[in-house]
C-alpha cells in the first residue's frame, strides 16, 4: 500500500528527488509504505500508527504501542491479548533510517562533555546537563542542521547557566524515516553541545574608595561577591581595602597576583569622578585590557583586563546596589575559562537591558539571554 503525504504545502512545484520547491518553504514528499502482516510475522517490523489499549476496569485509555515502535518477541503476547491478529507495518528501504535510529545517531553526534543523551522516543531525544556549568555550542551549526525540514534541533541559548538535570536541547525527526545520505549530511556539520564546568578560581577582592577605607561607609561588596563566587565553586583569598590612590590600588592587585589569585575583582571608583582611579590602576597592572565599558545596564562601567592567564575585573559601584548586573553576565564565562572578547561584548547591548521586574526571575528572563 502506498500513500503520499506532502509536508508544508506552501509548495508550488515538485522538483528532483521528491523535493517540493516553493516560494515560502521547501518540503519533502514522504513515500510511506504500509503493509498488513500476520501477527506471527510481525517481529522486527515497524508499527505504522499508535495502537490504543482500553481497560475499562482500570479506567485506562491510551496508546499501548506507539507509531514507529519496532515489534519485539515479547510484544506478541500483549498484542494478542489486545485482540490483534494482524498489524499494519511500515517498510523501510535499504537507504532509509527509522526516526528513532536517526534521532539516536544525531544525538550521539552532538552530545559532548557534561551532557547525557536520553533514549529516543517517537523520534525525539533530549540532551540533559550532567553538572552545573555553562552551555556551549556553535549556533551557526545548529542553524545549518535545521535548514533540512525533516528534523528540528531546539536548544537553550548558548552560554546559558545550567544545573544538573536541566534539559538543554531536544531534537526530533519529523517523518517516520529519513534517507541515510541526508542524515549523514547533518552528522558531517559537526555540531557539538557541551557543558563547560566552572573552575574553582581563587579570588582576591580589592575594595576602593576613601570613604570605605576611613570607615565613613561600611563595605557592602564583600558578602555579595563571596556569595556570587561561591556559586561557581570559587573561594575568596582575602580582601584589601585600598583608598582612591591609583598606586595603592595597583599595589593591592599585584599582591593578590603574587599570592596565587586567579581572579581579582576591584570595586568602585570606575566612573568619572576626580578620584575614580580604578581603571587606571587596572590598566597599569595588566598586560591587556579586554574591554572598559560594556553595553549592559546596569553595569555599563565594567572593565576586564588580563595579566597572563589571570583576570582582573573592575566592577562599578552599582554592583553593590543592584542584584543582577553586567558582572553576572561575564562571571560565568570567566569561571568557565571563556574570557569574553571586546568583539563578543560589543554585541551584548541587545538583551543587555535589565527590566527591573518587581519579581525577579533572573537568569530565566530576557536579561543577558543573547549575550
Interatomic CA distance for residues 175 and 149, integer angstroms: 10
Q: Which does 297 bind (CB under 5 to 8 A by kind): ligand LQZAQKY5, ligand MOO, none?
A: ligand MOO
- The smaller minimum CB distance to ligand MOO, of residues 70 and 353, is found at 353
CB 312 within 8 A of CB 304: yes
Which residues on adjacent β-strands are paired with residue 152?
Answer: 172
Residue 274 CB, shortest distance to ligand LQZAQKY5, in Å, is: 10
Integer Cα distance of 320 and 98 in angstroms: 55
Nearer to ligand LQZAQKY5, 56 or 272 (CB): 272
Half-sphere exposure of 61 (CA within 13 A, CB side): 1
Looking at residues 263 to 322 of the shown chain, list those that interact with ligand LQZAQKY5 (rule: CB under 6 A): 267-273, 276, 300-301, 316-318, 320
Q: Decide: helix, strand or coil at residue 140.
A: helix
Q: Any idea what the Cα angle at residue 302 is, between residues 241 and 202, rounded to 5°?
A: 55
227 burial type by CB count under 10 A (0-12 exposed, 13-18 middle, 19+ buried): exposed
Q: Does the footprint of ligand MOO cover residue 298 (CB under 6 A)?
A: yes
Cα dihedral 204→195→147→102 (10° resolution): 180
d(CA 213, CA 182): 66
Name which of ligand LQZAQKY5, ligand MOO, none residue 92 binds, using a CB cut-off of 5 to 8 Å depending on partner kind. Answer: none
Q: Tell me the closest approach of the beta carbon of residue 295 to ligand LQZAQKY5, in angstroms.
A: 12
CA dist., res. 233 & res. 161, Å (int) = 14
Which DSSP string corresponds to 48-98?
SS-EEEEETTTTEEEEEE-TTPBP-TTHHHHHHHTT-SEEEEE---TTEEE
> Which CB, 120 or 298, lies closer to ligand LQZAQKY5?
298
Taking residues 209 to 248 in sequence order and writing x for each that binds ligand LQZAQKY5 by CB under 6 A, - otherwise, the string is x-xx----x-xxx---------------------------
Residue 301 binding ligand MOO, by CB under 6 A: yes
Instruction: Report whether 267 contacts 317 (CB < 8 A).
Output: yes
Residue 205 binding ligand MOO, by CB under 6 A: no
Binding mask 302-341 for ligand MOO (x = CB under 6 A): --------------x-x-----------------------
Q: Which of 120, 299, 340, 368: binder of ligand MOO (CB under 6 A)?
A: 299
- Tell the smallest beta-carbon distance from residue 140 to ligand LQZAQKY5 (Å): 34
**Closest by CA position to 70, among listed 123, 28, 31:** 123
The site for ligand LQZAQKY5 (CB under 6 A) is made up of 207, 209, 211-212, 217, 219-221, 267-273, 276, 300-301, 316-318, 320
The site for ligand MOO (CB under 6 A) is made up of 297-301, 316, 318
Amino acid at each position: 500500500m502506498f500513500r503520499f503525504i506532502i509536508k508544508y504545502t506552501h509548495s508550488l512545484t515538485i522538483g528532483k528527488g521528491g523535493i517540493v520547491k516553493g516560494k515560502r518553504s521547501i518540503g519533502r514528499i514522504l513515500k510511506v509504505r504500509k503493509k498488513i502482516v500476520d501477527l506471527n510475522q510481525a517481529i522486527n517490523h515497524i508499527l505504522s500508527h499508535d495502537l490504543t489499549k482500553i481497560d475499562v476496569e482500570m479506567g485506562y485509555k491510551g496508546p499501548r504501542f506507539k507509531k514507529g515502535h519496532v515489534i519485539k518477541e515479547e510484544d506478541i503476547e500483549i498484542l494478542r491479548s489486545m485482540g490483534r491478529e494482524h498489524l499494519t507495518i511500515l517498510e523501510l528501504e535499504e537507504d532509509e533510517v527509522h526516526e528513532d535510529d536517526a534521532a539516536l545517531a544525531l544525538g550521539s553526534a552532538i552530545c559532548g562533555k557534561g551532557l547525557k543523551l536520553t533514549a529516543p522516543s517517537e523520534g525525539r531525544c533530549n540532551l540533559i546537563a550532567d553538572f552545573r556549568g555553562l552551555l556551549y555550542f556553535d549556533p551557526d551549526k545548529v542553524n545549518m542542521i535545521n535548514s533540512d525540514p525533516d528534523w528540528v534541533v531546539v536548544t537553550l541559548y548558548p552560554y546559558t547557566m545550567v544545573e544538573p538535570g536541566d534539559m538543554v536541547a531536544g531534537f526530533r525527526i519529523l517523518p517516520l524515516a529519513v534517507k541515510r545520505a541526508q542524515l549523514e549530511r547533518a552528522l558531517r556539520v559537526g555540531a557539538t553541545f557541551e557543558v563547560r564546568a566552572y573552575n574553582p578560581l581563587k579570588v582576591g577582592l580589592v575594595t576602593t574608595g576613601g570613604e570605605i577605607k576611613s570607615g565613613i561607609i561600611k563595605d557592602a561588596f564583600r558578602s555579595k561577591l563571596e556569595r556570587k563566587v561561591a556559586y561557581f565553586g570559587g573561594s575568596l583569598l582575602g580582601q584589601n581595602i585600598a583608598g582612591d590612590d591609583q598606586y595603592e590600588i595597583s599595589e593591592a592587585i599585584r599582591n593578590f597576583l603574587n599570592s596565587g589569585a586567579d581572579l581579582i575583582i576591584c570595586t568602585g571608583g570606575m566612573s568619572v569622578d576626580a578620584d575614580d582611579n580604578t581603571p587606571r590602576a587596572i590598566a597599569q597592572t595588566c598586560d591587556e585590557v579586554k574591554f572598559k565599558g560594556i553595553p549592559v545596564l546596569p553595569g555599563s562601567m565594567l572593565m576586564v583586563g588580563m595579566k597572563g592567564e589571570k583576570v582582573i575585573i573592575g566592577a562599578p559601584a552599582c554592583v553593590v546596589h543592584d542584584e543582577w548586573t553586567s558582572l553576572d553576565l561575564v562571571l560565568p564565562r570567566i569561571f568557565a575559562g571563556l574570557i569574553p572578547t571586546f568583539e563578543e561584548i560589543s554585541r551584548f547591548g541587545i538583551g543587555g537591558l535589565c527590566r527591573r521586574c518587581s519579581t525577579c526571575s533572573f537568569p530565566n528572563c530576557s536579561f543577558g539571554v543573547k549575550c
